[in-house]
Amino acid sequence: MTAERDRPPARWLALVRALLPAARRDEVEGDLMEGWQARADLSRVQRAWAFWRDAVSVAVPRRRPHHATHQGRSRFGAFAASFVHDIGAAGRLLVRRPAFSVLTIATLAIGMASATAVFAITDRVLFQPLPFPEPERLVALSGVNGQEIQEGRLKRYANLRELWSLGAYYTGSMNVGATEGPGRARVASVSPDFFAVFGVHPTAGRVLTPDDDPENALAVVAFDAWHRLYGGRASLIGQNIRLNSRSYLVLGVMPRGFRFPDATDIWISGMADAQASGPRGSSPLRKSWRASRQEGRRRKPQQPSRGPTSDATRVLNRRPPPYPCRNS
C-alpha cells in the first residue's frame, strides 16, 4: 500500500475538520495523516486509538491556546471554544479519577433529587392554591380520629349557622367497562350538593344538583379519567357508562386538576342530600367496600373567625342525640 493511499478513513477526517477552526484544518489534518502512516506497524485498533487521541487532544486542548480565543474567531466563537475547553478539562479529570467521579456524581444526584422532592412537596402544600375558588372558606368535617360521621348526624350539621352548604362523600373503587378496555377507577359516591360546596364548574356538561333524583344513577367524570378511560370523546356526555355492572348516565366532565377526594376518577350519585327530606339514596360503595366518609362544607362568607367548631359543639350539646346509647 503506498503512502498516499494509506490514510485514515475519510469520515474520521471530515469529523475532525468539523471540530477545528478553519485556519488550522489543513495543518492538523496533514499531521494526523502523517501520524497515521508513521504507525503502520501497529494494529488497527492501536492506530485508531492513537488517531483519536491526537484528534481530540487538538480539538479540545488542555490549555486554552491563543489561536482558540483570538485568531479568526467571533466573540461567540471564542466563548464556544472556551466552553468546549472547559467541558474537555472536566471530562479528562472525571476519567482520571473514576472513584472520585462516581462519588461526586452520586452526591450531586442525591442532592438534586432531594431538593426537587422537597420543592415539589413544598410547592404543592404551601404555595399552590387548592384547585377551588375561595379555599379559605372550606372546612372538612370528620369524626374523632378520622372516623366516619354517622349519616344520622348529617342533617344536624346542615343546620349549623356558620356553614353555607354541605357535601358528603364515600370513596372506593369500582370496575369500569371503558372504551380503552376494562379497568379500575377511583370512585366517590357524593351527595347532590357536593359540587356546589367547591364552586367548581364542569369543563363540559353539568354536575349533580339537589334537583337530581338521588335514586337515579348519575356520574361525573374527571378530566384525566375522561381521556384515559374514554379517549376524551365529547359524545361521552349523555351516554351511559358501566360501573360494577350497573349503568350510570354521564352528566359532565370536571376541569383538569379537580380530583377531590383522593384522586377521584368518577363521581357518582347515591348519597342522600343532607337537607333532603325524602328517602335517602343508597350508595353502592358503602355496601360493597369499607369506605371512608367525610364531609366538605363551605362556611358562609364574611363570618367572624370564631370557626365552626364552637358552633358545632354548641348545637350538638343543645340538641338531644337521636341515638342516645351511641352518643354517650
Partner 1 sequence: MKGAHLGEFEEFVLLAVHGLADEAYGSAVQRLLERETDRSVSLGAVYAALDRLEVKGLLRSEEVAGTPTRGGRRRRQFRLTSPGARAIDTVRAVRERLYRAAPTGPARTRP
How far is 248 from 268, CA to CA, in rounded Å? 8
194 to 233, contacts with partner 1 by CB under 8 A?
A: none
How far is 323 from 327, CA to CA, in rounded Å? 6
Binding mask 38-67 for partner 1 (x = CB under 8 A): x--------------xxxxxxxxxxx-xxx
78 binds partner 1 per the rule CB under 8 A: no
Binding mask 253-292 for partner 1 (x = CB under 8 A): ----------------------------------------
How far is 33 from 132, CA to CA, in rounded Å? 70
Site stretch for partner 1 (CB under 8 A), options 20-28, 187-195, 225-233, 314-322: 20-28
- CA dihedral defined by 125, 131, 134, 137, rounded to 10 degrees? -60
How far is 91 from 59, CA to CA, in rounded Å? 14
Instruction: Work out how close the CB of 62 gets to partner 1 at its nearest, in angstroms, rounded to a whole number.
Output: 6
Instruction: Work out how close the CB of 24 gets to partner 1 at its nearest, in angstroms, rounded to a whole number.
Output: 8
31 binds partner 1 per the rule CB under 8 A: yes
32 binds partner 1 per the rule CB under 8 A: yes
Instruction: Work out how close the CB of 32 gets to partner 1 at its nearest, in angstroms, rounded to a whole number.
Output: 7
Q: Which CB sits closer to partner 1, 53 or 246?
A: 53
Pick from 171, 198, 302, 326: nearest CA to 254: 198
Rg (alpha carbons) of the chain, rounded to whole number: 35
* DSSP of 150-185: PHHHHHHHTT-TTEEEEEEEEEEEEEEE-TT--EEE
How far is 167 from 156, CA to CA, in rounded Å? 13
89 binds partner 1 per the rule CB under 8 A: no
Among 12, 37, 69, 224, binds partner 1 (CB under 8 A): 37
Instruction: Work out how close the CB of 78 gets to partner 1 at its nearest, in angstroms, rounded to a whole number.
Output: 16
Pick from 191, 196, 258, 200: nearest CA to 218: 191
81 binds partner 1 per the rule CB under 8 A: no
4 binds partner 1 per the rule CB under 8 A: yes
86 binds partner 1 per the rule CB under 8 A: no
- Cβ–Cβ under 8 Å, residues 246 and 279: no
How far is 15 from 141, CA to CA, in rounded Å? 69
Q: Which CB sits closer to partner 1, 60 or 253?
A: 60
Residue ranges binding partner 1 (CB under 8 A):
3-4, 7, 26-35, 37-38, 53-63, 65-67
